[in-house]
Amino acid sequence: MTILVTGGSGQLARALGAAAPVAGVPVRVIGRPEFDFDRPDSIARAVAAAAPDLVVNAAAYTAVDAAETDAAAAFRANRDGPAALAALCRAAGVPLIHVSTDYVFDGTKGAPYLETDPVAPLGVYGASKLAGERAVLDSGARAIVLRTSWVYAPTGRNFVRTMLAAARKTRSLRVVGDQTGCPTAAPDLAAAILAIAARLRQEGWQDRFAGVTHAAGTGATTWHGLAVAAFAEAARHGAPVPEVTAIRTADWPTPVRRPADSRLDCARLRGVFGTELPPWQDGLRRTIDALAVAGELP
Ligand SMILES: NC(=O)c1ccc[n+]([C@@H]2O[C@H](COP(=O)([O-])OP(=O)(O)OC[C@H]3O[C@@H](n4cnc5c(N)ncnc54)[C@H](OP(=O)(O)O)[C@@H]3O)[C@@H](O)[C@H]2O)c1
């Protein structure tokens, strides 16, 4: 089974590109400029050239704040591009795993979200990702929409690396403590996707696979909790521990509101696909270990 992964320079695509060969799964990872949702012809060319047995769409416009003033680009990458990709997958009879986000929810439920809970995105990014989910599911393709959350990795733009970089400049940090979610290490999500791919290989496509499934790190914390845990892990490698003060969302204004509590219930991932992600603390530990090896700790 050859997997085609889009979003080549991104956190998840890189994690899949690293993990698939280790699992003995042929993978082709493509990114811009070769594969660009802003150039629709590049989508068809890439799919035809790879002749995949499974496509994983990890390409997305992920700049949550910038999307507020760049809605057209966000919808091109998060709705129109995935729709075109799904149409190609449908025509070729190839299953598609499309990655989406916890930001389709408004965060007011007060408990982990089920796949069947009502959606209500708070900003353009969430709205564009929701539109992408719907386009993919309406395409007639054999589609699995995986909603994940709070993704980080040893490379790329993410909260954990931002915190460590900040600690190089200051001994005292203020971090939002009233938003709760499920931190997800990209390699853990990649492993879950490979487990799904193995299922597809063994069982062939099953209708129960179709639809939305939540896939995030097990457990939950706040951004403040994640920062404190990251510095505690970094301290094992001798990094100094800054003072981290929990602040309220209202004290850290951003162009777009984030959900206050976007925890994802991942029971369906276990039930349908027989896999789950490890506790978020495990993924964090491995990420900090990798950053230590890369010499990136404060
Ligand atoms: N990061 C998170 O916290 C988070 C949370 C929940 C869900 N997700 C979802 O998880 C998936 C993977 O996220 P990630 O963290 O790996 O994202 P990422 O690191 O931001 O990477 C996104 C990738 O998409 C590519 N891309 C952006 N616009 C594109 C376009 N118009 N055409 C083709 N490629 C384009 C980027 O290419 P360039 O490098 O060229 O820009 C990059 O390779 C996405 O679907 C995202 O919405 C992420």
CA distance 266 to 157: 25
Look at ligand 1, atom 40, and give the residue with the nearest C-alpha: 32
- Do the Cβ atoms of 199 and 274 come closer than 8 Å? yes
DSSP-derived pairing of the beta strands 27-30 and 54-57: unpaired
Q: How confident is the model at residue 297 (pLDDT cuts 50, 70, 90)?
A: very high
**What would the pLDDT profile of 245-280 be if each residue is shown by its tens digit?**
999 999 999 999 999 999 999 999 999 999 999 999
**What would the pLDDT profile of 76-121 be if each residue is shown by its tens digit?**
999 999 999 999 999 999 999 999 999 999 999 999 999 999 999 9
- Do the Cβ atoms of 155 and 11 come closer than 8 Å? yes
> Residue 292 Cα, ligand 1 centroid: separation in angstroms?
25
Percentage of the residues of the chain whose pLDDT score is greater than 90? 99
Q: How confident is the model at residue 46 (pLDDT cuts 50, 70, 90)?
A: very high
**What would the pLDDT profile of 153-197 be if each residue is shown by its tens digit?**
999 999 999 999 999 999 999 999 999 999 999 999 999 999 999
Q: What is the pLDDT of residue 93?
A: 97
Would you give the end-to-end CA distance of the chain in angstroms? 41
Global pTM exceeds 0.85:
yes
Look at ligand 1, atom 45, and give the residue with the nearest C-alpha: 99
Ligand 1: nearest atom to the Cα of 32: 40
> Residue 241 Cα, ligand 1 centroid: separation in angstroms?
30
Phi and psi, residue 20, nearest 5°: -60, -50
Look at ligand 1, atom 30, and give the residue with the nearest C-alpha: 37
pLDDT at 294 over 90: yes
Ligand 1: nearest atom to the Cα of 15: 16
> Residue 179 Cα, ligand 1 centroid: separation in angstroms?
22
CB atoms < 10 A from the CB of 42, how many? Answer: 17
Of 30, 32, 37, 62, best ligand 1 pocket probe by most atoms within 8 Å of the beta carbon: 62
Q: What is the pLDDT of residue 298?
A: 86
> Residue 147 Cα, ligand 1 centroid: separation in angstroms?
13
Largest CA distance in the chain: 55
CA distance 21 to 29: 11
- The mean pLDDT value for 195-222 works out to 98
Q: What is the pLDDT of residue 1?
A: 87
Look at ligand 1, atom 36, and give the residue with the nearest C-alpha: 7
We find that the CATH architecture of domain 3-223+248-293 is 3-Layer(aba) Sandwich (3.40)
DSSP-derived pairing of the beta strands 243-247 and 211-214: unpaired
- Do the Cβ atoms of 104 and 149 come closer than 8 Å? no
Q: What is the pLDDT of residue 29?
A: 98
Residue 187 has what DSSP assignment? H
Residue ranges covered by each domain of the chain? 3-223+248-293
Q: What residues does ligand 1 touch, defined as CB less than 6 Å away? A: 7-13, 31-32, 35-38, 58-62, 77, 81, 99, 101-102, 129, 148-151, 156
**What would the pLDDT profile of 51-87 be if each residue is shown by its tens digit?**
999 999 999 999 999 999 999 999 999 999 999 999 9
For the chain, the average pLDDT equals 97
